[in-house]
Structure 1
Amino acid sequence: MTFPMLPPEEYLDRVLSTLTPLDALEVPLEQAHGLVLAEDVRATVPVPPWTNSAMDGYAVRAADVAGARTAPVTLPVAGDVPAGARPMRLAAGTAQRIMTGAMLPAGADAVVRVEDTDQSPGALPLPEQVEVRAAVEPGANVRHAGEDVAVGQVVLRAGTALKATAVSAVASVGRSAVRAVPRPRVAVVITGAELADAGRELAAGTIPDSNGPLLSGLVAEHGARLTAVIHSADTPSALAEALRAAAADADLVVSSGGVSVGAYDPFAILAAARGQAEGPAGNDIDLATAKVAMQPGKPQGYGSVRTGDGRRVPVLGLPGNPVSVLVSFTTIVAPALARLSGHDAAEPGAPRDGGTRATARAAVRWRSPRGRRQHVPVRFVAPPEPVPAGSPPGTVWVAPSHRLGSGSHLVASLPAAQALAVVEADVDAVDVGDPVQLLALSAPAAPVPGSVW
């Protein structure tokens, strides 16, 4: 029996409809980079916290140096104000040497730049007096307390992605922790009786396991936290036990292999037996498979595992071939991680399939399977000769990273890939000069080393 293939967007909608962001936690600020805020952040201290100097120079009363408009004014230097010090009050008719960022002395209302005096900049002894050669207005070269942010003012709204600038802003307003959506915990399950540990001598019919390292790395690169890599035999009962073990300490389980129509595909067998409590899936594993109109990556699976504490942990079953794993992770798992971590709401302009889109042109010709959206690993190359007429200046040119194009088994050529070229389902061939959309392979949010959030 032939079943129709789902458009990739429809399948992704099915997956995402089962997911919601994880519950927020109180997170130390040093581990919050890359997370999404679950609360508004208000300032607990003003920014800046006190009035300070914007220049290296001399703190003065503007009225004491008003005469410098016509002739230099000489003032005795009563003290030094380095950054971090609490200065003494400035007496009328005197100056204090001050550095950038240092607290403005009480009584002072302006700073004269060192360049506008007879003194040289740098680490020199404190002079007994200073000749001021330019008048200043009150407030000149001064940063006033709270002029950036006042106490109680909202600095960041809930839903903000905590990039480096946002973390810096939170620190500046006196916060040491925030409520944020934690990093998803991801467990990986690898099926395939033919897979052997990397470096082992290969018996007949076996190949090195590249999916375990690939999925582990992709999980980390996309800002999630890897909790386990479990290998499963190609039987429904073995896979069921592996899924249960993986879900115990995870927010998402990602498996590879066993989702197609083969006689020994355990994910598909478990999905076909859904609802049969007496089978290996029992009452706690609920899986389904689908054919998706994409190449590579047509067979896909999804569902959930109920843990002993009552949690429903989502499961995404990917095909077993490594290029299919990469494409499926980029287009399906990455958006799922974005949903769990709150990033799809924090960055609503991002493409649904989790990447960053750009446009390039094909430097060579290749074929595409009509009826399925093709994702071809490509690299950036020099323009073809001759350059096709009408190519705009600054065109980015790409070619498949392997001469066999998007073959799902071409794992050794993947390091050469710099992006995925997306060819729509109604196209059966890409010609030299044709525009193609690029889906970036880089990750949206790298984890902090050692972070548990």
Structure 2
Amino acid sequence: MTTPQKHSPNDPILLTSSLHVDEARKAIAQLVDDLISESRLRNDLGDVQTVTLDQAINRILAEDLLSPIDVPAADNSAMDGFAFNSDCLGNEDKPVTLKIVGTAYAGKPYEGRVGKGECLKIMTGALMPQDCDTVIPQEFTEQADPANNLLVTFKQNQVKRGENRRLRGEDLQSGKAAIHAGRLLRPSDLGLAASLGVGILKVHRKLKVAILSSGDELRPLGQDLDAGSIYDSNRYSLIGLLNRLDLEIIDCGIVRDDPASLKSAFIAAAEKADVLISSGGVSVGEADFTKQIMQELGDVGFWKIAMRPGRPMAFGVLKPTHSSNHKTLFFGLPGNPVAVMVTFYQFVRSALLQLNGASQTEPCLTQAIAQAPIRKKPGRTEFQRAIMERGSDGKPTVKITGSQGAGILRSMSEANCFVILYHDQGNIATGDWVDVALFDGLL
């Protein structure tokens, strides 16, 4: 098996035999890392922007967010109960009876003192008085004297010294990183920043990603179909995928299958974008001119990847003009609609996140139980479209969405996940556990 090798843009175009999926992913990650290190992409790729929290979702944090305050800002109660000084604890067999001297609420602290034999009724989040170090939960207490509702009693073995008290700065200390650079910002991150009083964040600028579809058979929406023609669905799938990452999209439309048109479109797109993604024109068909153009414009490998769907793919770097140092990362994806989405998920998404400064680029996997047998040949990685749900016993189950052809886009629309079947795996039996990648947040 041949893997991609480093070479200069003047070398002959790189051709490889079939690659494992993992080999292709490593090769892509290495080239992206090299390009970032050598500053060989757009000069402003590392530009930092300042955005408000309502604009920050799905952006990549460019600098550590340092907390300006301690969290919590002061010692406080972790639950509703009664605060007291633990010096009264000692004999676990003997109950403790304390006099209630007041009440502390969140945002309304108790100003008085709590003496020996006394306690303070306290609510979750209320400041701990200086005389108290422990909170007994309310449900562990009883009224000591029906005639006196200011006396409360509890068993000593139901609480330990210092329990149910949150200390100042125990969650986060002032000056420490609350969120680290490289984070793909999620709703919880925005809430955390707001809880610290931070209203703006520094993020990497959005990548500029150009997309185009190539093929004489493709027609735009709204145009009647003639014999042998089809509507271009791939650009709309890619637009949706890229919008999930909140990137700047440059839609270059449909390009005819001839060298002059493709070359002109590739040069125009590469001049404006950090990344160019094309669909179609990367197989060995007579009308597939992408290889020829890549020999003139850049340093691109044409790969056969041991996967289903999505076997042919092109990847590399374009340099549209000799007068500019600007280089554009290029992905040539298959033309089949499902293969476009699978190869984007498996290769392109991670590369875009890496290029945009993200520290976590790989999607998280989970597992589910196969509801029925799944046919699989060893020797390739398969991404089968499936529906994951919870079984009657509460365990996660998964079932395939029928026919898995690379052109059956309905199999993607009906699915909510991929079942990932690895290179050396064979057939899956009913009841086997399989790896699953959920679409939510990814596709």
| Same fold flag (TM > 0.5) | yes
Structure 2: how far apart are the matches of 1:192 and 1:139? 71
Q: 1:356 aligns with which of 339, 351, 365?
A: 365
Q: 2:384 aligns with which of 353, 377, 400?
A: 377
Q: Residue 337 of structure 1 aligns to a residue in which SS?
A: helix
Q: 2:152 aligns with which of 132, 141, 146?
A: 132
Does structure 2 conserve the Cα–Cα contact (< 8 Å) formed by 1:254 and 1:317?
yes
Structure 2: how far apart are the matches of 1:290 and 1:338? 22
Instruction: Give runs of aligned pairs for residues 256-271 of structure 1, distance below 5 A.
Output: 256-271=279-294
Given the two structures, how large is their TM-score scaled by the length of structure 1?
0.68
Structure 1: how far apart are the matches of 2:77 and 2:422? 58
| 2:330 matches 1:315 | yes
Instruction: Give runs of aligned pairs for residues 190-205 of structure 1, distance below 5 A.
Output: 190-198=213-221, 200-205=223-228
| 2:273 matches 1:253 | no
Q: Which runs of 5+ in 2 are unaligned?
A: 1-14, 37-44, 390-394
Q: Residue 19 of structure 1 aligns to a residue in which SS?
A: helix
Does structure 2 conserve the Cα–Cα contact (< 8 Å) formed by 1:24 and 1:179?
no
Q: Which runs of 5+ in 1 are unaligned?
A: 120-127, 275-284, 383-393, 447-453
Structure 2: how far apart are the matches of 1:140 and 1:336? 47
Structure 1 residue 397 displacement after superposition? 6.8
2:392 maps to what in 1?
none
Structure 1 residue 252 displacement after superposition? 2.0
Letter in structure 1 aligned against 2:439: S
Cα deviation 1:6-56 (Å, max 9, x = unaligned): 414444444333314662635545555555555445443112101223333
Q: RMSD in angstroms over aligned alpha carbons?
A: 4.6
Given the two structures, how large is their TM-score scaled by the length of structure 2?
0.69
2:69 maps to what in 1?
45
In structure 2, relative to structure 1, the CA distance for the partners of 1:65 and 1:378 (3 Å cut) is: closer
Q: Residue 17 of structure 1 aligns to a residue in which SS?
A: helix
Does structure 2 conserve the Cα–Cα contact (< 8 Å) formed by 1:362 and 1:436?
no
Q: 1:99 aligns with which of 107, 123, 126?
A: 123
Does structure 2 conserve the Cα–Cα contact (< 8 Å) formed by 1:90 and 1:96?
no
Instruction: Give runs of aligned pairs for residues 233-244 of structure 1, distance below 5 A.
Output: 233-234=255-256, 235-244=258-267
2:318 maps to what in 1?
304
Instruction: Give runs of aligned pairs for residues 88-167 of structure 1, distance below 5 A.
Output: 88-90=111-113, 97-106=121-130, 116=141, 118=143, 130-134=150-154, 139=162, 141-155=164-178, 157-159=180-182, 162=185
Report how many aligned residue pairs link the two structures.
397
Matched residues, percent identical?
26
In structure 2, relative to structure 1, the CA distance for the partners of 1:63 and 1:439 (3 Å cut) is: closer
Cα deviation 1:336-373 (Å, max 9, x = unaligned): 22422444x536xx5xxx673758769457575x8x72
Cα deviation 1:126-179 (Å, max 9, x = unaligned): xx9823335899756433322333333455555556556665555555544555
1:279 maps to what in 2?
none
Does structure 2 conserve the Cα–Cα contact (< 8 Å) formed by 1:89 and 1:107?
no
2:254 maps to what in 1?
232
1:288 maps to what in 2?
300
Instruction: Give runs of aligned pairs for residues 48-59 of structure 1, distance below 5 A.
Output: 48-57=72-81
Q: Residue 18 of structure 1 aligns to a residue in which SS?
A: helix
Structure 1: how far apart are the matches of 2:370 and 2:163? 55
Q: 1:412 aligns with which of 407, 410, 413?
A: 410
